[in-house]
Amino acid sequence: MRWRAGRLRLGTRLALGLGALSLAVFAVVGTALTAYMRDYLEQQLATQLKLVQTVQAKDAAAHGTVERKPYYGWYTAVYDVADGEVRLRRPADVPEDTRAFAALARTMARSDTELVRTARIDGEGTYRLRGCEVRPGVVLVSAAPVTDVEETVERLITVQVVVFALALAALVAFGRRMLRRGLEPLSDMARTAHGIASHDLTESAARLPLRADGRDGGREVAELRTAFNTMLEHIDDSLAVRAEAEQRLRRFVADASHELRTPLMSVRGYADLFRYAAANAPGERERHLARLRAEAARMGALLDDLLLLARLDAAEARAPLRATRTDVVELVRQAADAFRAGHPDRPLTVLAGSGPLLLRLDPDRIRQVLDNLLTNAAVHTPPGTPVSVTVRTGPGAVLIRVADEGPGIPEEHREHVFDRFYRVDRARSRDRGGSGLGLSVARSLVGAHGGTVELTGGPGGTVFTVRLPLGGRGAAPG
């Protein structure tokens, strides 16, 4: 039975529960009403019996017996009681079975108060008997049938059963319909949930187009609908993030494999050339060895950058940092001197304060950031393009601004310049364009210090701004 009830729909179960509760209420109300009506009718009968017996007692005192005829179905008897013996005076309007009358008269002779009893009389039914003393030794016993009271109570019970049954059936039927309408939004949510369960969440960039509709179902249902749709939005966002992460991972693995494949093939090719050159043309050995070392160094630098990014992504931001008290202005000047030595054809201007600017940071990593930004300016601008580096303090941070007056970065590429292996000009050779990791490494290293790197500027110039906090994760003031 419990298994069958568990298979019923919620609306039906609620309607049945409401019906059971209503049935209990109807039973209590019916019982109380029936008991009240019974008591009321019995009290009315007792009052009527008392009034009638008062008149009969006067009649019995005057004539010895009751000459006034009682109501139809009522009985009256006058008894003489002496030494425990009772004798019925004649004429008397009594049934054939007078045992209850005689017993009440015998008891009444020994009592100082009027007595009332309910007795069963053979062949007649149930009667209410009342006795009173007319004078010493003479007792009047009057009897009134309670059949009318019982019939009235039975009719009341029948009416209650019929009315309550109809009311219960109507309540269950209309209540089930109203509950089904009220719970329809929950059914919509269930259908939405089934649709989501059948949706292929393994698809790339999977989205959940299903939503619970906005049909009203009350405040609680509206809150549940809002929470349900909010949960779906979070799931959508999580799926989008996962899909984007998977796409980036696949692109990263493909780009990394391609980047590593190029120097490896170069090393293999120069190794073959070196083998033949060493056997046939010993004079070219040094040239081929130099190219082998260059390719190996390029591959080593690429692997170092990948390892550094992996460590930073794995929440090991503090592991690659060795923070010391460092003068940021001096660090910028050193990076500028190295840039001038490597790119004498590009004028570089350094604007910084005259005094030192001390911060607690990793000088090697920040120097790597500056070198990457300056190299990026040299690689992506034509020869002779002016480059400038500005150091100043801002609200709670030190700002390092690296700017060039080159062609700038198109608008559609700006949000991707910090992505790994991303190139604005994909036709550019890797020897000249780099591996596409420089800006990613710069952003990750600055982020490990608690700072940010921002790209600004429009056509005709590019500006990278490094913000290092005065008090932060890895760059507190020295």
**What is residue 314's three-state secondary structure?**
coil
For strands 452-456 and 324-327, give the pairing: unpaired
Burial code (b: 16+ CB inside 10 Å, e: under 16) for 227-238 equals ebbeebeeeeee
Please state the pTM of the whole predicted model: 0.46
DSSP structure class, residue 44: H
The whole-number pLDDT of residue 427 equals: 43
Both structure tokens of 104: 């009440």
The identity of residue 292, as a single letter, is: L
**Predicted local confidence at residue 430, as pLDDT:** 45
- Pairwise CA distance, residues 50 & 53, whole Å: 5
Buried b (16+ CB within 10 A) or exposed e, 317-344: beebbebeebbbbebbeebbeebeeebe
CA 157/CA 27 separation, integer angstroms: 11
Residue the block writes with tokens 């364009």 = 433
Q: Of 138, 134, 139, 141, whose CA–CA distance to 74 is shortest?
A: 141
Question: Could you read off the pLDDT of 173-192 as tens digits, one per residue?
Answer: 887 787 777 767 767 777 77
* Low pLDDT (below 50) residues in the chain: 1-3, 204-205, 316-319, 426-433, 472-478
CA atoms 275, 276, 279, 281: torsion sign = negative
Encode 356-367 in three state secondary structure. CCEEEECHHHHH
Strand order through the sheet with 348-351: 348-351, 387-394, 397-404, 462-469, 452-456
Alpha-carbon distance of 460 to 458, in angstroms, equals 6
Check residue 3 and give its pLDDT. Answer: 46
Query: What pLDDT shows up at residue 317?
Result: 43
Distance of CA 74 to the CA centre of its chain: 75
| Per-residue DSSP letter, 477 | B
83 backbone φψ class: left, alpha, beta (φ>0; ψ -120 to 50): left
Give the pLDDT of residue 171.
83
pLDDT at 475: 40
Are 195 and 171 within 8 A, CB to CB? no
| φ, ψ at 379 (rounded to 5°) | -75, -35
Cβ burial 135-157 (10 Å sphere, 16+ → b, else e):
eeebbbbbbbbbeebeeebeebe
Residue 5: what pLDDT?
A: 52
Instruction: Read off the pLDDT of residues 267-283 as tens digits, 9 standing for 90 and up.
Output: 777 677 666 655 555 55
Give me the residue label for tokens 């009332």: 116
- Please report the DSSP string for 135-199 in residue order: ETTEEEEEEEE-HHHHHHHHHHHHHHHHHHHHHHHHHHHHHHHHHHHHHHHHHHHHHHHHHHHTS
Task: Identify the three-state secondary structure at position 348.
Answer: strand
